[in-house]
Structure 1
Amino acid sequence: MKRAKARIHKLKILFAAQDIGGFQAIAPVMARLRKRGAYEVFCCAASEAAARAKRTGIACKNCGGLGEARLRDFFTDVSPDLLCVSTSFGNSLDKKLMRIAKAKKVLSLAIIDFWSHYRDRFDSLPDGLPDKICVMDGTVKKEMIIAGFPARVIEVTGNPFFDTFRTQKRNLKKGNAGHYIVFFEQPFSELFPQDDHRFFGFDEIEVWQDIAAALSRLEIKDIIKIKFHPRSRKINKFDEINRRHKLNVEIDERTSVEDLIEGSKLAMGMNSAVLFQAAMAGKKVLSYQPNLQQDDPLVSNKLGLSLGIYRKDELEKAIKSLLKKGIGLKNKKKIDYYVNNDATGKVLKIINKVLQK
């Protein structure tokens, strides 16, 4: 008689995200793990992350409506060996699950997806930090250590989402200089009141008013597409400004961010991660942050891959200059550090290391 094969017990990993940026950071890691089959992979999401998972066909339970007790039951049913989360503000899904993981003595790992508000991402975790925190670069690690995070928990891996970026090489090969201007909105007026410590010193209404006025004075005839952030609720907030300046504005709700970037001749906004993505694609990028009251979180400005403008009286000249410039090769070494870094593979190595403890 043939002997029955022993059943191999696979370790379980539960992934979780609440925001789109965070979900995009964990998605490549889940995809590679599911392809390899070495671990059992589970996913739960809330809010914009749940909508993104559904839209992209990624298997992920919507936990947005679960209270603490039901979320605890879900966690117990999965019984993960490792919790892997992206980070968000407030009492978010990732924090709720990390509290449960700590109570059950389950290992945890967090992935940070952007250069800002590090303490806010972990501020409601009285039982301590995750076992490991994966960050984009050495700058984040230094800033987190200054903010009081222990160096031993921080691993520089890059953001796995950056592995998926369309590159400047593709755009240059296609001769894609673009044929419209795109403005990527962020709903700061809806998210951060002026007395909030996260308030940057400006909001999207002030920023678009200044940009629209500058474009009008320059007599720009190009199509100007506005892409609202998924969290934006007041999508008519710019209507009066647009009527006043009579620009050729289109509100684009259907085109993907990737396609909007690829077809643009100039990408503008405040400090959205999408501007970083456009800069990595070799596009001309203007980041307008008037009267900025915090450190600039858009690292592409610091790298010289996008243009940061912080004063209203410099805006018009900057737009005019960028529109005159042709598309050209940006600093390949700087871009490769972020987009040809195999951040997904580096996060997987940290996962393996944590699970082998």
Structure 2
Amino acid sequence: MGDKKKVLAFAREPGGADTIAPVIGQLRKRDRVEAILLAKEYAGARFAAAGLDYREVAWADESSLRQQVAEIVQTERPDALLTSASSRPQDDMTEKYFWKMGGDLQVPSLAVLDQWQNYILRFSGPGAGEKLGYMPTCVAVMDETVRREMIAEGFPDERILVTGHPRFAALRAYGERGNRATARGKLAALGIDPEAVVVTFVSEPARRFFAAEEGFDEASTLTALLASCKPLAQDRKVEVVLKYHPRNLPEDFSAVHGPEDGANLRLHHMQNQLEPWDLLLASDLVVGMISILLVDSVLLGVPTLSVQLGGGNEGRCVPEKYGAISVVRQTALLPDEVAALLTREEYRRQYLKRQQKFTVVRDAIARIEDKVYEFAGAN
């Protein structure tokens, strides 16, 4: 181990952890470098779900965080840094301090983007004069569209590398071995009728984090979805599964009134009882706002719908941005769209054909892995 190059990796947000986890797994499998993985808050559970060992760190508060990151880098003396690029500056600055310290110590850093939005926010500090003030050596992005958008927003072209999204490379492998019947069986083990129509709502902590700017939130969206499913439940069983985001809390849904006991329509709260991809694959319809899980659902071939009631910002949902799915912005239109996707076979078939328009860059894990080896001097 002593003569191996060392890569120090970090993530905090669940989406960021899911993004770099497949890369860490591959680095460790090939064993050409020593890959040390640090987690903060939400990321630990996602790394554990991926079967990755990670290091527990007692992270300092913001007043001492920059110094703590500096000490970690100086102590570990990595040859390269690998991080997510997920945290807003008002939430956490750890990623950004790693990039800054890497630059100060001439340790190359690779940050992997996990979403098609808020590019500037991810690489800026909280102050007015800190726009794009925290840049890694290289940013790995999902596709050419993202690269063009980032350049238009002021990012330096030479620091952007189109690699594809490693999460989707892992999803592709899951989809090839995944089995819908097996996934439905896992739902049955949790008390959900496998013979019923299963509608999954993939939630996000919108009310606390972005409802003011977007115009919609998780509770009102779920309420509208339940109302839209009620007519369908007159002659069939409908199971609505509420998939919590890791940042969602039960009180986020305190205003949602579930169906009456004994009705054909039931609501199930799903926190971490089932892996997200199993839940998506087992669903007859996946509904969400702008969650990355809507992308996963599209790629798994499950009918997928974005609901942004009252929202006016175009292109916030990635598959919508690429013309692959519909977005419902008016409550009155939601029941017909839900019914069409669940009961009209030809409409559903054409809709799924449309979803196939959304494709992703392949071999993302290998592309990022190669860049890590280059940065670490392990080629």
What's the TM-score bracket when you normalise by the shorter of the two chains? 0.7 to 0.9
Match of 2:204 in 1: 186
In the alignment, what sits opposite 2:257?
241
Q: Is the 8 A contact 1:228 1:235 kept in 2?
A: no
- Structure 1's unaligned 5+ residue stretches are 1-6
Q: Which runs of 5+ in 2 are unaligned?
A: 185-194
Seen in structure 2, the aligned counterparts of structure 1 residues 26 and 180 have a Cα distance that, compared at 3 Å, is same
Q: Does 1:229 align with 2:245?
A: yes
What amino acid is aligned across from residue 162 of structure 1 in structure 2?
Answer: F
Q: How far off its partner does 1:131 sit?
A: 1.1
Whether the 8 Å CA contact 1:47–1:64 is kept in 2: the answer is no
1:251 maps to amino acid: H
- Over 3 Å counting, the alpha-carbon distance change for 1:265 and 1:190 in structure 2 is same
Matched residue type, 1:26: I
State the distance in 1 between where 2:278 and 2:30 align: 30
Give the 5 Å matches for 1:298-313.
298-313=317-332
Summarize the Cα distance change of 1:100–1:24 in structure 2 as closer, same or farther, 3 Å threshold.
Answer: same
- Give the corresponding residue for 1:213: 227
Distance 1:53 1:293, change over 3 A: same
Give how far 1:238 is off: 4.5
1:51 is matched with which residue?
A: 45
Q: Which amino acid aligns with 1:342?
A: D
Which range moves more in the overlay, 279-288 or 138-147? 138-147
Question: Separation in 1 of the partners of 2:359 and 2:177?
Answer: 11
Match of 2:102 in 1: 101
Structure 1 residue 295, shift from structure 2 partner: 3.3
Contact 1:15 1:83 in 2 (8 A): yes
**TM-score relative to the length of structure 1:** 0.86
Paired amino acid for 1:65: W
Question: Which of 161, 164, 168 is matched with 2:170 structurally?
Answer: 164
The answer as to whether partners of 1:210 and 1:312 remain within 8 angstroms in 2 is yes
SS in 1 for 2:238: coil
Q: In 2, distance between residues paired with 1:204 and 1:143?
A: 28
Match of 1:29 in 2: 23
**SS in structure 2 at match of 1:15:** strand
- Segment of structure 1 superposing worse, 273-282 or 347-356: 347-356
Contact 1:178 1:263 survives alignment (8 Å): no
State the distance in 1 between where 2:124 and 2:196 align: 42
CA distance 1:292–1:171, shift in 2 (3 Å): farther
Asked if the contact 2:286/2:303 (under 8 Å) is kept, the reply is yes
Q: Decide whether aligned partners of structure 1 residues 169 and 336 sit closer, same or farther in structure 2, where only a CA change above 3 A counts.
A: farther
TM-score scaled by length of structure 2:
0.81
Residues 204-242 of structure 1, C-alpha deviations (whole Å, 9 max, x = no match): 122122222222244463111111111012346255432
8 A contact 1:99–1:127 mirrored in 2: no
In 2: Cα distance, 1:316 partner to 1:193 partner: 23
Residues of 2 paired with 1:164 and 1:330: CA distance? 23
The partner residue of 2:366 within 345, 351, 357 is 345
Question: Counterparts of 1:127 and 1:102 in 2: how far apart (Å)?
Answer: 12
1:8 is displaced (CA, Å) by 7.1
Q: How is 1:133-172 mapped onto 2 (pairs within 5 angstroms)?
A: 133-165=139-171, 166-167=174-175
* Count, aligned residues: 345
Structure 1 residues 20-29 or 199-208, which shifts more? 199-208
Counting aligned pairs with the same residue, the percent is 27
3-state DSSP of counterpart to 1:12: strand
Deviation at 1:288, TM superposition (A): 0.4
Q: Give the 3 Å change call, closer, same or farther, for CA 256–169 of structure 1 in structure 2.
A: closer
Match of 2:73 in 1: 75
Residue of structure 2 in register with 1:10 after alignment: 4
Q: Distance in 1 between matches of 2:71 and 2:77?
A: 10
Measured on the aligned residues, the alpha-carbon RMSD in Å equals: 3.0
Q: Deviations over 1:17-59 (max 9, x none)?
A: 0111111111111111112121121111101102222344412
The whole-number CA distance in structure 2 between the counterparts of 1:295 and 1:353 is 38
SS of alignment partner, residue 41 of structure 1: strand
8 Å Cα contact 1:111/1:134 also seen in 2: yes
CA deviation map 1:63-96 (0-9, x unaligned): 3623423332222221111111101212332112
Q: Give the structure 2 partner of residue 38 of structure 1.
A: 32
Measure how far apart 1:255 and its partner are. 1.5
**Residue by residue, what CA displacement relative to the aligned partner does 1:270-328 show, whole Å, maximum 9, x if unpaired?**
01111110110000111101232333232222334333222223211111110124475
The Cα of 1:201 is off from its aligned counterpart by: 1.7
Deviation by residue 1:151-179 (Cα, 9 ceiling, x = unmatched): 11111111111111133895689998984
CA distance in 2, matches of 1:238, 1:144: 39
Task: Call closer, same or farther: CA 1:331–1:213 in 2, change over 3 Å.
Answer: closer
> In structure 1, how many angstroms separate the alpha carbons of the residues matched to 2:22 and 2:309?
35
